[in-house]
Structure 1
Amino acid sequence: MPPRRRAPAGARSDLPPLKIIRKILLLQVVYYVCATVLILFTTVVYGAPFSLDLIFGWDSLRGDTTIGWMLGLVWMLNCFISVIFLLLFVSRSKLVPDFALTIHFLHLIATVLYTHSLPTNLLWWGLQFASAALMTFLGMWACQWRELKPIAFGGLGGGSSQAGPSSQPGTNEQDLGFGRGRGRERGLYSGGEYEMDAMKATGERAV
C-alpha cells in the first residue's frame, strides 16, 4: 500500500468549519457588546439600575412597563447594528440566514442557562422572531447589494473605457471624409466633379 500523505502544518486550522465557528463567536460577542452598550445608555438616561437581567433575562421584557418597551426597541436597534457586522464578516447572502438564526439560537441558550428556565413571555418570543426575520432580510439585501455593486460599476466603467475616438461625434470615417462615397463626403467633393466637367466643355468649344 502506498504511504499516506501527511497534511501540511496548519491545514486543520484552515478548515472552513473552524472559520465558521470563529465568525459565529465573533458575531455573538459583538451582538452582546452592542446590546450592553445600548442597554447601559438607556438605563442611564432613564435613571434605572443596570443589571445582567436586562440582557440575559426574559422577565424584564414586558409589555406593561416602560422599561420593557424600551428594551424591546433597544433589541431591535441592536438588530439593525448587527446587520452591519453580518455584511463585514459574512459578506455572502446565502450564509446570512444561518448566521442570523444561530445568533438568536445561542441567545436563547444563554437566556435559559442564566435564568434556569425556558422563557414563557410571549413578547420575548415575538421579539426574537421579529429580530431574526429582520436581520435575515436586511443582511441578505445588504450582501446582495454588495455582491452586485462591482458588476454594475464594472459594466459602466468598461463601456466608458472601451469607447475610443470612433465613438465621439465628428471623429468617425464618414465625418472625416474617408467613407465609400456615401453621406457627407459626397457633398464635399461633388462640386469639384462638376467644375471639371464645365472646364472640359469650355475647352472643347474653344478648339
Structure 2
Amino acid sequence: MSTRRRPPAGSRTELPPLKIVRKIVLLQLAYYACATVLILFTTVVYGAPFSLDLVFGWDSLRGDTTIGWMLGLVWLLNCFISVMFLLVFVSRSKLVPDFALTIHFLHLITTTLYTHSLPSNLLWWGLQFASAAMMTFLGMWACQRRELEPIKFGGHGGSTQAGSSSQASAGDGQQESSFGRGRGRERSLQEYEMDDMKRTGEHAV
C-alpha cells in the first residue's frame, strides 16, 4: 500500500487559508479606516469638503494643487501607521512583503472599480510604489525586532528564587560542616577517655 506524505506541520497550522483571508480583510479594513480618519481630519482643518472620492479616487491626488500634495502626505502617514497593523496581525517578518503588496494591489482594484477607470496619474502610481516599499521595509524591521527580543522566564522573581536557593544550599553546607566538626570533636574526646582508662588498668595490674 502506498502511503501519502503528509505536509509539514507548519504549512497546515501556521497559515491556513481562512486565517490568511481573515488577516487580509482585517488589514484592508484597518488601512481604509485609518486613511478615512486622516483625510477627514485634514479636510476639516483645511476647510475643504470631504467625500469618498478623496479615499477611493485618484483624480484628487495631483501635483498641481495643494489638496493633492496634502493627500499624498496623508497617504504616506497612513503607510507608517499601517506598519503597526502588520506588526499586530502578521507579526512574521517573512510574511510582511506578501501582505503589504496585497494591501496595495487590493487598493488598486478598489480604486479602479470605484472610478471605473485605471489610474493614469503618475503621482498616484509613484505614491503607491513608495508606500508599498516603505511599508514592506518598516514592517519587516519591526517584526524582526520583535522576533529577536529575548524571552524572559520569571523575570526578577526567578533571580531572587535562585539567590534564595543558593543561600539555602550554602547554609545547609555550613550546617553539615559544623555538624561534622562537632561529631569529630566528640569522637576524639571519647578516644582520649578510652586511652586513659586503658592506662589506669595497666598500672593497676
Check whether TM > 0.5. Answer: yes
Give unpaired runs (5+ residues) of structure 2: 2-13, 171-205
Residue in structure 2 matched with residue 32 of structure 1 by the alignment: 32
- Mark the CA change 1:15 to 1:69 in structure 2 (over 3 Å): closer, same or farther: closer
1:134 Cα deviation from its structure 2 partner? 0.3
Match of 1:110 in 2: 110
1:121 maps to amino acid: N
Unaligned regions of 5+ residues in structure 1, if any?
Answer: 2-13, 172-207
Q: What is the distance in 2 between the residues matched to 1:51 and 1:24?
A: 25
**What corresponds to 1:75 in structure 2?**
75
Identity %: 85
Rounded to whole Å, the distance in 2 between the matches of 1:15 and 1:162 is 39
1:86 aligns with 2:48: no
Please give the alpha-carbon distance, in whole angstroms, between the structure 2 residues aligned to 1:146 and 1:32. 25
Q: TM-score, normalised by structure 1?
A: 0.68
User: What secondary structure does 2:149 align onto?
Assistant: helix
Q: CA deviation at 1:163?
A: 7.8
Q: Which structure: greater helix fraction?
A: 2
**Structure 1, residues 89-111: CA drift from partner, whole Å, max 9, x if none?**
10000110000000000000000
Choose 1 or 2 for highest CA Rg.
Answer: 2
4+ residue segments displaced more than 3 Å: 160-165
The total of aligned residue pairs comes to 158
Q: Secondary structure at the match of 2:133?
A: helix
Counterpart position of 1:135? 135
Q: Which residue of 2 aligns with 1:46?
A: 46
Q: d(CA) in 2 for partners of 1:150 and 1:47?
A: 49
CA distance in 2, matches of 1:34, 1:121: 23
SS of 2:36's equivalent in the other structure is: helix
Deviations 1:150-204 (A, max 9, x none): 35x67x98xx689869x9xxx9xxxxxxxxxxxxxxxxxxxxxxxxxxxxxxxxx
Query: Residues 16 and 32 of structure 1: is their aligned pair in 2 closer, same or farther, counting only changes over 3 Å?
Result: same
What's the C-alpha RMSD, in Å, of the aligned pairs? 2.8
Query: Could you tell me the TM-score, scaled by structure 2's length?
Result: 0.68
Question: Is 1:99 equivalent to 2:90 in the alignment?
Answer: no
User: Which residue does the alignment assign to 2:64?
Assistant: 64
